[in-house]
Structure 1
Amino acid sequence: MRRTRLFPAVTLIILVALAWWLSRDRDESRDAADAAAVSVPDAFFEGFRLRSTDATGRWDYQVDSPRVAHYPEDDRWTLATPRLEAYPEEGATWHAHAEQGIAWPDEDRVELRGRVTVRRAASPVNRPLELDTENVRITPSRDYAETDAYTEVRQGVSRIQGTGARAWVAEDRVEFLSEVKGHYVPEDQ
């Protein structure tokens, strides 16, 4: 019993000491690295998974990526082919995928680059939704996203498409900016 409690504490102490030693070594070599101005990651993860809960302990979202790297010169995190699952309080889970993701934690900014797909299945409180676009800029604290690219949203056989879009996620609202076309089929009553 005592040994079981001791192992996590010893592991934590070793990890803290290792982090201190690595940061001390990195500070001494930082001047040489700054002179070279080469964009080299200072940390990376393979097989990355992040799960987050809200203040009540309810699952909020999960991010998966085969490789995540941190670049210290602009405090940027890159994610290879990120996949996101968001768990709303009501309705079906949202599933998103992009070719690349970039996040700047101190700037409240995320970019999904390349092809971006978002899917949500039907549930008792929402219709199914499919969204396809490219190069999305996200401001997480505002639940806001935008793109300048061609965007198509499909709900069942209804669809709307256009160039450029803004989305207020918490409001479940999307605004298309130009060249908008749509085809709407009312739900059976």
Structure 2
Amino acid sequence: MKKWSSAVLPLTIMLVLVALTAWLRFATELPDGARDGRNRHDPDAILSDARGHKLDADGALLYRIEAAEVRHYPDDETSELLQPRLAYVSPAKPTVTIRANEARATAKAEKVELSGQVEIRRAASGRQAALLAEMPELTVLTEEKRGFTRSKVLITQGPSWVQGVGMQVDHGLQTYVLESQVRGEIESPFARKKKPKT
């Protein structure tokens, strides 16, 4: 009986060590997908002075986008842009330029969320003075040439101004629709000009 009991202790210790080794191996092994960095929100590419252009099927320029810096994140396929500038260019219409302090864009830049001193500038054309719209944030759907915000907006064009809360923008039609709390002062082109007193 003594021979049997002396053999049980080393076998038990050895079996426990084998079980612990197997458990440790499986506990520390990461799945293949976890090693590619997709679970972390770290940039995989950083670009300085980046410029991109979107062309239509015929090769005509639809819009261009520029930024002082672009950081691409592989986990959600988004990009963060510092000092972005988006310009819609058309030979028949005035150029519309959108600027902000920062932006977040989806993988193919079909949706760009701009924030921090957002400005929309429409160049002067014909009888129309240049237009400036200012707001704290704006979401642009680049492919649809539309944008929207729920924030307070101030639009100025020459001596006229209008402000409100919430706005729908159509860059194709070049229309700006304020949604609520709208007030402003619009100068009529038919109003008589006041003569300065001499």
**TM-score > 0.5, shorter chain as reference:** yes
Q: Which residue of 2 aligns with 1:32?
A: 35
**1:80-119 equivalence runs, <5 A:** 80-105=82-107, 108-119=110-121
Distance 2:140 2:187 in 1: 30
**1:10-159 equivalence runs, <5 A:** 30-32=33-35, 37-105=39-107, 108-124=110-126, 126-159=128-161
Does the aligned pair in 2 maintain the 1:92–1:126 contact within 8 Å? no
**1:30 to partner: Cα distance:** 4.9
Q: Greater shift after overlay, 165-174 or 155-164? A: 165-174
Distance 2:139 2:185 in 1: 26
Distance 2:109 2:62 in 1: 21
Q: Which residue of 2 aligns with 1:187?
A: 189
Q: Greater shift after overlay, 153-162 or 56-65? A: 56-65
When residues 101 and 181 of structure 1 are mapped into structure 2, their CA distance, relative to the original with a 3 A threshold, is same
Does the aligned pair in 2 maintain the 1:90–1:125 contact within 8 Å? no
When residues 30 and 114 of structure 1 are mapped into structure 2, their CA distance, relative to the original with a 3 A threshold, is farther
**1:133 to partner: Cα distance:** 0.6
SS, match of residue 38 in structure 1: coil
Q: Which residue identity does 1:78 align to in structure 2? A: E
**1:187 to partner: Cα distance:** 1.8
Distance 1:54 1:135 in 2: 28
SS, match of residue 35 in structure 2: helix
Compute the RMSD of aligned alpha carbons. Answer: 2.5
Percent of residue pairs bearing the same amino acid type: 25
Does the aligned pair in 2 maintain the 1:91–1:124 contact within 8 Å? no
Distance 1:120 1:173 in 2: 11
**1:127 to partner: Cα distance:** 3.6
**1:139 to partner: Cα distance:** 1.9
Q: Which residue identity does 1:40 align to in structure 2? A: D
Does the aligned pair in 2 maintain the 1:163–1:177 contact within 8 Å? yes
SS, match of residue 79 in structure 2: strand
Greater share of residues in helix: 1
Structure 1 unpaired stretches of 5+ = 1-27
Instruction: Give the TM-score, by structure 1 length.
Output: 0.74
**1:184 to partner: Cα distance:** 0.8
Does the aligned pair in 2 maintain the 1:85–1:94 contact within 8 Å? yes
Distance 1:88 1:107 in 2: 19
